[in-house]
């Protein structure tokens, strides 16, 4: 038997004031996007903002549905918008933030499993990593160099071929 250890590196910032200006701007867009989330059931508003290789930035929000779990996450909304509006242009960075109407909002959240899979496939498709900037409405911020770090055993097209 072999043992394999997996490690990921996460840069932890005390707050947005420690971030590079471009990263702080992207996180600010994600934070502002939470206002537009449609989350009448969970009251957990998520905003995502992507920066494309051409410098354009787009946002997405979670969209719930009375037919739970038929909603869609903010990360996938932002990625879908980027893909539809700018086909063939890679996503370089993605910021995610949230606002819970009935809870604390001062820590980072990370993408769910479906979003992790989707992000990993976007990285493969574009041939480049997507940096993740994860934060709440305030407090600590996590920055990862690649979305694939969140899903080290991703199921990809190579398994299907």
Q: DSSP character for 92?
A: E
**pLDDT tens string 45-93:** 999 999 999 999 999 999 999 887 789 999 999 999 999 999 999 999 9
**Residue with the larger pLDDT of the pair 103 and 140:** 140
Verify whether residue 75 is a known catalytic residue. Answer: yes
Rg of the Cα atoms in the chain = 16
| Cβ neighbours, 10 Å, residue 102 | 7
The span from the CA of 104 to the CA of 7, in Å, is 29
The span from the CA of 31 to the CA of 95, in Å, is 9
The span from the CA of 60 to the CA of 19, in Å, is 22
Q: Give the pLDDT of residue 113.
A: 93
Q: How confident is the model over 142-155, as a mean pLDDT?
A: 93
> Which residue is catalytic, options 5, 18, 75, 123?
75
Contact indicator for 151, 116 with CB cutoff of 8 Å: yes
Q: What angle do CA 129, 130, 132 make, to 5 degrees?
A: 135
Give CATH for domain 11-160.
3.40.140.10
Q: How many residues are present in the chain?
A: 161
Helix then strand count (H, E) for the chain reads 4, 6
The span from the CA of 88 to the CA of 143, in Å, is 25
Q: Give the pLDDT of residue 79.
A: 97
Q: How confident is the model over 108-132, as a mean pLDDT?
A: 95
- Domain residue spans of the chain: 11-160
The span from the CA of 65 to the CA of 42, in Å, is 10
The span from the CA of 46 to the CA of 60, in Å, is 8
| Nearest Cα to Cα of residue 118 among 60, 65, 54 | 60
Checking if the pLDDT of 136 tops 90, the result is: yes
């Amino acid at each position: 038997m072999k043992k394999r250890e997996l490690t990921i590196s996460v840069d932890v910032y005390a707050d947005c004031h420690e971030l590079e200006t471009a990263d702080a701007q992207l996180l600010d867009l994600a934070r502002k996007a939470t206002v537009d989330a449609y989350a009448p059931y969970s009251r957990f508003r998520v905003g995502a903002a992507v920066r494309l290789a051409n410098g354009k930035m787009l946002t997405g929000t979670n969209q719930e549905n009375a037919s739970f779990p038929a909603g869609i996450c903010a990360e996938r909304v932002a990625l879908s918008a980027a893909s539809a509006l700018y086909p063939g242009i890679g996503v370089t960075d993605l910021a995610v933030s949230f606002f819970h109407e009935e809870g604390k909002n001062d820590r980072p959240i990370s993408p769910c499993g479906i979003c992790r899979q989707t992000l990993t496939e976007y990285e493969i498709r574009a041939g480049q990593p997507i940096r993740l900037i994860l934060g709440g409405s305030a407090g600590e911020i996590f920055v990862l160099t690649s979305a694939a770090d969140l899903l080290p055993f991703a199921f990809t097209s190579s398994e299907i071929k």
